[in-house]
Structures are given as structure tokens and as C-alpha cells.
């Protein structure tokens, strides 16, 4: 099936928020703090500007609480008396001329009495830097399984390691953008987003309005990767406030510098491992500490920490596991959602540590993994018993075969022994990723979707899940077309508009195809049941036309709600039970070349083998894997966020390097298919899994090539030089 929106994108007809012309629109911008922490003493407006031409909004213009509604309502929409990070929003401006607007922004001076700030999340905060609770801890999570201390004492070997991962910028193609306007008394925002109903809740809360007094419409969205999950709630509130005060539409578009400087990033992390193993390589105890830098406000740090902690012990069976996790405050620009959502940080540490254990025991890293990979009937760190039928050993072995691991090992030894400055090796990472929201999250969301039979004989899909480049529109149409045996061109997808589509949950957590796609399948069943039979194809269309002839002017709507799979139980206090309905599993192999003169790393080959349940569309699925691998390559080797006073100093694409086509070889993708009974056509989640495996596979390869023990990403040439120098 052809991609639904491909021609519009290819020809440039797709209307992103920057393309949408609105009569009488003004431009909006944000005036931000230039210091990381302090009390606002005064705001001076330059005399050279005629301020009567401008609309100026501050915290006093909020009709409701000065809070961005998220997990905790600790983040102000606009700073009132103090700031917690550089680039924190203090004022909003609007004007019909963008150049005049920029000139006015430069003429405003926010005078702040600075207070002590904290920037290193790894250091306990001095008393005068505590700004949340009594210790700056946003969230604590603990997993306890078995008796870790006794198992460590009894172990033949105890191997320790500390691993650190840096922040990462999303670099979506389209910058953040939003327009706000008031129509028939309804505050409406339209823009680039992943989670329309998150924004809807934020508008209701801060504007003190009822459900039907706020409206959120998604414009075409040019990429998100999590960066348009939490932050658009802030931007939507800013656009709405300006529109309310200006009494006209106001559009805010960030340029790339502001987008990179002021929006959320991947959480930096430090992960400590202490692992007890037998002399034969059986893991008997895992003692793990996870620490995340949350930045200045809570945002989504608690749930990022949650997923990171659950994935910290890896896809291995161990009877004794202890994982302690904390997300802490610093005076950095807040960190937030990013593809993988905490799992890439902890999986990097786990998979790098597995190679360190293998080195300590003198074992092959493949043999160590084969010995410990979880089998059906065994349980994860939370006690979730795995019974999905996936052959995890075969996935590992297929990656080994396709990467020609053993043949290359011999060839690389010969190459390395004769070449004066180049070193080659292959690294492996085995990993998993929980699909959907953690624990009872999907039940809490209570997602709904609608399949509507139209009077034309066509079918309309109504969900709040967005197309942002991943192919959701195509997948949804394909699911419904195959379920009803109708032609894809007989299926419409409703515009994502909170006035017209139900809340099917956010477009996050590898849940869209699996969870919402399954809702659409059930909606098709419900629609057919209303028509009086299990109709498909021409019979379905005839029965649909007959129903409308008998019920003129009525809509035929089949609405279904999420139902949790049987036997899924989760204790959110003890972190025990079924953390996810299912897991996707993978092994990735990276072949690298290291230049000992420059300490640069070149990726020569990459193999990605995974079981994501039934593959709904092989082209889209392969694209998801290849794109995730490329992001992982960037995070592993080059995407270094350089921070000064908690703010990204290299906030432009001149100084922040991302992979080019020259940096990435063809990514060879292999799928195994073990259908999941509760996913659409047997699908599991796929979007986040590829982000987890590239970095550990690459860094493991560098370690094997050089004999060093790198424990940090991004592994830039400067970092690798220091590691090899100390070795």
C-alpha cells in the first residue's frame, strides 16, 4: 500500500504550521531569563520602542493557576518572582511585524538577583541549592527481587562498573510552532504536536476553562521523537495567552537556535552496576543504581525514570535483582521525553557491562549472553513471567550470522596486527523494550477510538494519534482496510481535532500500532455487529448504505475502549508484576574501524535483528529501525550537548553534529515475527526499540577494537583519546 501522505509531502503540498496563512495573524515571541537561578527584581522596557504597538503578557494575565499541567504542576507558564534556569519564559510579546518583534525583544532587560545554582546532578546539593522537597529528588523508584546482598557474597566474582550517557537533541525536521486564536468563545490552538489531549488538559487547567471551551488541532507535524510530547503544552499556552490578550490570532514559531536552546532534551544519566557471577558466567545478582538529571522542573522525569529502572537489568534472567533509581533537580533547562524514554540510558550501561563481565571472566561476550538470556517461564526483574514464545537465542544467532561475527573476528585480528593505525572489531548488544505504557498506564489512559460508517459507503477513522513521519496514517488505513476487506481509498482519516476525535491516548511509548491499531480492529468488529453480521468487502458497503437509507441524517459510530489483556497485574508501589503487556526483543551488531591517529570511529556495517510481533508494513517498519539506528549512532559517537550554566551552548546545527549519509552504512534489517495476541494483527511496539541497541553495540565494538574500556556516550574522539590515554 502506498504511504498515505507521501505525495503531499513529496510535492510540498503538506501544510505545516509555518505554511498555514491566517487572516490578521500577529507574530508572538518569548522573552527569557539570561541567568540560571534567581529572584526577578525588575523588568525594564527600552525607551526606544513604542510599546503601545505591542501586546505584552506576563504571569498576571493567566486566568487560572500559573502552572503547566503535567505529572506535577511545578513548572510555571511564565515566571513570576523567580527563575530556575536560563531561557525560562518570563514575558510574551506579539506584533504584526516579525522584525519589529525581534527588535522589541532585544530592548527588554530582565534584572535578576542571582542565587546559587546546581548543575552537576551527580553531586549532592548544598543546602542553599535545594529547590524541591528536602533534597532535590523528583522521584525515587526501587525494584527488589530475591536477596541481592547474600547472592553477591556467595558469587564467584563481583564485577563493578560506572557508565554515563549524555543529553541528546531531538533535531526533528520541523521546529516547534503553534498558533492560538479565539473562535466563538473557544480558545483554539493549532500546531506541531504528538499529544493533543495533553495540551487540552494544560489549556483547561491554566486558562480555567471547561472542556468545551478549549480546542486543540494538530497541523502536519514534521517529526517529534518525544520532543513534541511535553513541550508543546508550554508553547500552546503561550500562543493562547497572546491570542486572548491581543484579541486576534497569534502564531509563535521557533527558529532552530531557540528550539535547541529552550526545549527539552534526553536526560543525562549515570548508572552503576555491581554484578555477581559464577565462574561459568551465570549471573546470580544484579545491584544497580540509576541517576537521572531532571533539569529545573519535573516534566516527565518520573515516568522516564520508571522505564529506565525497569529495563536496567537487561533481557536476562536473574533471581536476585536490586535497582534503585532517582531523578534529581538541577538548574538546567528541563529534560523530557525522548525516543526510548529512559531505556537507552540503562540498556547502554547494562550491555556495556555485559562485555566488561565477559572480559573479566575471559569469556566470549556471545557465550555470556546465550547463557543468561531470559527463557519462556523465567521472570524479569519485576517478576513478570515471560511466555511470549520468542526465540531470543535465535535472534542473537541470526545477528551473529548476518554480521559474520566469527569470520570477521579472524579477519580483523589479521588486519589489526598488520595495520599501523587502524583497528577493527564487531560489537554486539542484546536488549528488549516494553511496548505501551508502563504498569497500569494504559488502563489509566482509558483510550477510545472510533470507526465510523459514512453515508457514502466509506469508513472514517477517528483517533487522537498523530502522523509525525512514522507512517501512522498508512498503518491505520491498512489495518482497517484489511479487517473490512475494502479498498484503502474508501477509508478516510479524520483530522486530529479534540472537538471531533476521542482521546485515544498520546502518540508515544511504541503504542500507536499495537494499542490503538487493536482498538480500530475492535471498532471494525463493532461496526459490523451494528450492521447485523460479519460483513466484509462489497457486502459491508451494501449493508452500510442500507443502514444509512434506513437512518437518514444519523452517524453510524462504533466506539471502543481499551481493555487490558487478561492476567496483567502491576503493583505501582512495590514495582512488581507485569510492567508491560509484551516486550519486543532484539540483537544488534556493529562493525567499526578506529583510527588511532585521530581517535575517530567509522561505522563499517550494521545488522539489526528484532522480533516486534507481526510486521504490519515492512517498508515502514524497516524505516523505523533504520531511523532509530541512525539516531543511536549520533548519540553514541557525535551528538554532544555542551552545557554552560545549565544551558546548551552549541544550540545550532553548525556546532551540534548529527550523522550524515557518509557516517552510516546501509543498516541491514531482519524481522522475526512472533504475533502478540493483543496487538493489531499480532503487532508489538517498534518505534523506540531501535534507539536502545545502536550505542552499546558500537561502543562494545570500539572496546574490542582498541582494548580500552569506554564507559561514556557520546564517545567523541576527545573522550576516546582520554580513555585510551588512561588505559
Cα separation values, 164 from 291, 365, 664, 686, 708, Å? 10, 21, 24, 25, 16
Q: Is residue 219 located within the same domain as residue 95?
A: yes
HSE, CB side, 13 Å, CA atoms: give it for residue 354.
Answer: 32
Is residue 371 in a domain? yes
Confidence of residue 73 (pLDDT cuts 50, 70, 90): very high
Phi and psi based region of residue 272 (left: phi greater than 0; alpha: psi -120 to 50; beta: remaining): beta
The larger pLDDT score, comparing residue 583 to residue 568, is at 583
Q: Is residue 496 located within the same domain as residue 621?
A: no
Q: Is residue 408 located within the same domain as residue 453?
A: no
* Strand duo 26-32 + 89-95: pairing: antiparallel
Q: Is residue 584 located within the same domain as residue 668?
A: yes
Whether 299 and 336 have beta carbons less than 8 Å apart is answered as: yes
Residue 194: DSSP 8-state = S
At 727 the pLDDT is: 66
Whether 351 and 314 have beta carbons less than 8 Å apart is answered as: yes
pLDDT at 9 over 90: yes
CATH of the domain at 493: 3.30.365.10
At 568 the pLDDT is: 87
DSSP element (H, E) containing 588: strand 582-595
Q: Is residue 243 located within the same domain as residue 100?
A: yes
Q: At what angle do helices 365-372 and 343-361 cross, to 10 degrees?
A: 110
Q: Average pLDDT, stretch 572-595?
A: 97
Is residue 396 in a domain? yes
Terminal-to-terminal C-alpha distance of the chain: 54
Residue 500: DSSP 8-state = T
Q: Is residue 189 located within the same domain as residue 274?
A: no
Collapsed DSSP state (helix, strand, coil) of residue 183: strand
Q: Which residue, among 291, 296, 294, 295, has the nearest Cα to 309 in the 3D structure?
A: 291
Phi and psi based region of residue 439 (left: phi greater than 0; alpha: psi -120 to 50; beta: remaining): left
The tens digit of pLDDT for each residue in 241-288 reads: 999 999 999 999 999 999 999 999 999 999 999 999 999 999 999 999
- Exposure string of 153-164, with b = 16+ CB inside 10 Å and e = fewer, is eebeebbebebb
Domain boundary, last residue among 231, 262, 293: 262
- Exposure string of 496-519, with b = 16+ CB inside 10 Å and e = fewer, is bbbeebbbbbbbbbbbbbbbbbbb
- Exposure string of 220-234, with b = 16+ CB inside 10 Å and e = fewer, is bbbbbbbbbbbbbbb
Is residue 136 in a domain? no
Is residue 66 in a domain? yes
Is residue 124 in a domain? no
Q: Is residue 101 located within the same domain as residue 29?
A: yes
Q: Is residue 468 located within the same domain as residue 480?
A: yes
CATH of the domain at 191: 3.90.1170.50
Q: Average pLDDT, stretch 647-666?
A: 96
Q: Which residue, among 214, 151, 157, has the nearest Cα to 180 in the 3D structure?
A: 214
Kindly state the cell numbers that stand for 322.
Answer: 536490586
Q: Average pLDDT, stretch 646-663?
A: 97
Report the length, in residues, of the chain.
727
Whether 450 and 523 have beta carbons less than 8 Å apart is answered as: yes
Residues 6+ away with beta carbon under 8 Å from 500: 462, 494
Domain boundary, last residue among 200, 233, 262: 262
The tens digit of pLDDT for each residue in 506-544 reads: 999 999 999 999 999 999 999 999 999 988 999 999 999
The tens digit of pLDDT for each residue in 103-158 reads: 999 999 999 999 999 999 999 999 999 999 999 999 999 999 999 999 999 999 99
The three-point CA angle 366-310-610 to 5° equals 45
Residue 11: DSSP 8-state = H
Q: Is residue 422 located within the same domain as residue 452?
A: no
Residue 80: DSSP 8-state = S
Q: Is residue 545 located within the same domain as residue 495?
A: yes
Whether 178 and 191 have beta carbons less than 8 Å apart is answered as: yes
SS (H, E, C) 547-564: HHHHCCCCCEEEEEECCC
Measured CA to CA, the distance from residue 238 to residue 343 in angstroms comes to 32
Domain count, the chain: 3
Is residue 206 in a domain? yes
The tens digit of pLDDT for each residue in 287-335 reads: 999 999 999 999 999 999 999 999 999 999 999 999 999 999 999 999 9
The proportion of the chain whose per-residue pLDDT surpasses 90, expressed as a percent, equals: 98
Kindly state the cell numbers that stand for 391.
Answer: 526465540
Whether 700 and 351 have beta carbons less than 8 Å apart is answered as: yes
Collapsed DSSP state (helix, strand, coil) of residue 13: coil
Is residue 135 in a domain? no
Confidence of residue 550 (pLDDT cuts 50, 70, 90): very high
At 1 the pLDDT is: 85
Whether 614 and 682 have beta carbons less than 8 Å apart is answered as: yes
Q: Which residue, among 16, 685, 644, has the nearest Cα to 333 in the 3D structure?
A: 644
* Domain that residue 415 falls in: 269-383+392-438+573-726
Is residue 620 in a domain? yes
At 371 the pLDDT is: 98
Q: Is residue 589 located within the same domain as residue 651?
A: yes
The three-point CA angle 92-94-98 to 5° equals 120
Cα-flanking dihedrals φ and ψ of residue 185, to 5°? 80, 0
At 567 the pLDDT is: 84
**Considering Cα of 262, then 202, then 342, then 618, what sign does the dihedral take?**
negative
Q: Which residue, among 340, 288, 292, has the nearest Cα to 313 in the 3D structure?
A: 288
DSSP element (H, E) containing 317: none
Confidence of residue 726 (pLDDT cuts 50, 70, 90): confident
Mean pLDDT of the chain, nearest integer: 97
Q: Is residue 293 located within the same domain as residue 360?
A: yes
Domain boundary, last residue among 226, 244, 262: 262
Amino acid at each position: 500500500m502506498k504511504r498515505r501522505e507521501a505525495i503531499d509531502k513529496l510535492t510540498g503540498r503538506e501544510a505545516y504550521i509555518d505554511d498555514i496563512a491566517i487572516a490578521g495573524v500577529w507574530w508572538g515571541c518569548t522573552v527569557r531569563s539570561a541567568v540560571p537561578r534567581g529572584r526577578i527584581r525588575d523588568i525594564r522596557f527600552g525607551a526606544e520602542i513604542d510599546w503601545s504597538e505591542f501586546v505584552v503578557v506576563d504571569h498576571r494575565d493567566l486566568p487560572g493557576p500559573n502552572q503547566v499541567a503535567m505529572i506535577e504542576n511545578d513548572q510555571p507558564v511564565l515566571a513570576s518572582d523567580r527563575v530556575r534556569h536560563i531561557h525560562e519564559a518570563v514575558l510574551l510579546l506579539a506584533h504584526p511585524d516579525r522584525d519589529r518583534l525581534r527588535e522589541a525583544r532585544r530592548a527588554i532587560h530582565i534584572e535578576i538577583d542571582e542565587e546559587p545554582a546546581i548543575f552537576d546532578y551527580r553531586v549532592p546539593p548544598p543546602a542553599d541549592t535545594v529547590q524541591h522537597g528536602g533534597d532535590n529528588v523528583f522521584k525515587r523508584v526501587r525494584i527488589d527481587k530475591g536477596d541481592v546482598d547474600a547472592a553477591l557474597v556467595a558469587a564467584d566474582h563481583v564485577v563493578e562498573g560506572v557508565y554515563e550517557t549524555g543529553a541528546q537533541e531531538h533535531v526533528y525536521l520541523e521546529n516547534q510552532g503553534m498558533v492560538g486564536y479565539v473562535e466563538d468563545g473557544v480558545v483554539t490552538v493549532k500546531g506541531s504536536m504528538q499529544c493533543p489531549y495533553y495540551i487540552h488538559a494544560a489549556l483547561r487547567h491554566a486558562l480555567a476553562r471547561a472542556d468545551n471551551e478549549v480546542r486543540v488541532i494538530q497541523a502536519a507535524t514534521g517529526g517529534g521523537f518525544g520532543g513534541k510530547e511535553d513541550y508543546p503544552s508550554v508553547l500552546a499556552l503561550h500562543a493562547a495567552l497572546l491570542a486572548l490578550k491581543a484579541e486576534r490570532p497569534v502564531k509563535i514559531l521557533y527558529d532552530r537556535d531557540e528550539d535547541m536552546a529552550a526545549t527539552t532534551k534526553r536526560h543525562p544519566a549515570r548508572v552503576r552496576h555491581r554484578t555477581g557471577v559464577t565462574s561459568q558466567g551465570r549471573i546470580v545478582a544484579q545491584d544497580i543504581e540509576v541517576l537521572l538529571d531532571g533539569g529545573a522542573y519535573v516534566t516527565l522525569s518520573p515516568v522516564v525514570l520508571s522505564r529506565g529502572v525497569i529495563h536496567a537489568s537487561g533481557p536476562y534472567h536473574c533471581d536476585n535483582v536490586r535497582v534503585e533509581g532517582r531523578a534529581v533537580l538541577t538548574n538546567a533547562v528541563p529534560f523530557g521525553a525522548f525516543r526510548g524514554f529512559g531505556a537507552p540510558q540503562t540498556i547502554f550501561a547494562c550491555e556495556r557491562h555485559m562485555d566488561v563481565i565477559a572480559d573479566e571472566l575471559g569469556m566470549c561476550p556471545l557465550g555470556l549472553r546465550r547463557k543468561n538470556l531470559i527463557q519462556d517461564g523465567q521472570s524479569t526483574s519485576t517478576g513478570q513471567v515471560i511466555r511470549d514464545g520468542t526465540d531470543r537465542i535465535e535472534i542473537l544467532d541470526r545477528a551473529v550470522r548476518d554480521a559474520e561475527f566469527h569470520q570477521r573476528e579472524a579477519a580483523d585480528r589479521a588486519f589489526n596486527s598488520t595495520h599501523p593505525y587502524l583497528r577493527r572489531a564487531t560489537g554486539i548488544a542484546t536488549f528488549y523494550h516494553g511496548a505501551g505504557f508502563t504498569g497500569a498506564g494504559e488502563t489509566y489512559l482509558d483510550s477510545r477510538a472510533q470507526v465510523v460508517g459514512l453515508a457514502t459507503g466509506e469508513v472514517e477513522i477517528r483517533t487522537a494519534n498523530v502522523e509525525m513521519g512514522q507512517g501512522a496514517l498508512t498503518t491505520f488505513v491498512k489495518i482497517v482496510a484489511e479487517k473490512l476487506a475494502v479498498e484503502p481509498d474508501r477509508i478516510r482519516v479524520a483530522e486530529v481535532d479534540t472537538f471531533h476525535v476521542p482521546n485515544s491516548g498520546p502518540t508515544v511509548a511504541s503504542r500507536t500500532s499495537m494499542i490503538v491499531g487493536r482498538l480500530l480492529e475492535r471498532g471494525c468488529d463493532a461496526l459490523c455487529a451494528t450492521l447485523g453480521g460479519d460483513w466484509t468487502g462489497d457486502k459491508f458497503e451494501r449493508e452500510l448504505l442500507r443502514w444509512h437509507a434506513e437512518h437518514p441524517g444519523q452517524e453510524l459510530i462504533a466506539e471502543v475502549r481499551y481493555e487490558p489483556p487478561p492476567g496483567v497485574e502491576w503493583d505501582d508501589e512495590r514495582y512488581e508484576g507485569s510492567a508491560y503487556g509484551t516486550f519486543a526483543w532484539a540483537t544488534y551488531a556493529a562493525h567499526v574501524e578506529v583510527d588511532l591517529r585521530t581517535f575517530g570511529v567509522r561505522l563499517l556495517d550494521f545488522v539489526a535483528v528484532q522480533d516486534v510481533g507481526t510486521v504490519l508494513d515492512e517498508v515502514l517498519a524497516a524505516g523505523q529501525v533504520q531511523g532509530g539506528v541512525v539516531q543511536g549512532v549520533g548519540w553514541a559517537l557525535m551528538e554532544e550537548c555542551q552545557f554552560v550554566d545549565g544551558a546548551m551552548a552549541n544550540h545550532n546545527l553548525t556546532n551540534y553534529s548529527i550523522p550524515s549519509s557518509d557516517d552510516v552504512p546501509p543498516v541491514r534489517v531482519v524481522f522475526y515475527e512472533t504475533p502478540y495476541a493483543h496487538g493489531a494483527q499480532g503487532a508489538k511496539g517498534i518505534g523506540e526499540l531501535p534507539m536502545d541497541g545502536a550505542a552499546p553495540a558500537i561502543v562494545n565494538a570500539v572496546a574490542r577494537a582498541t582494548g580500552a574500556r569506554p564507559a561514556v556516550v557520546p564517545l567523541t574522539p576527545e573522550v576516546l583519546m582520554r580513555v585510551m590515554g588512561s588505559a
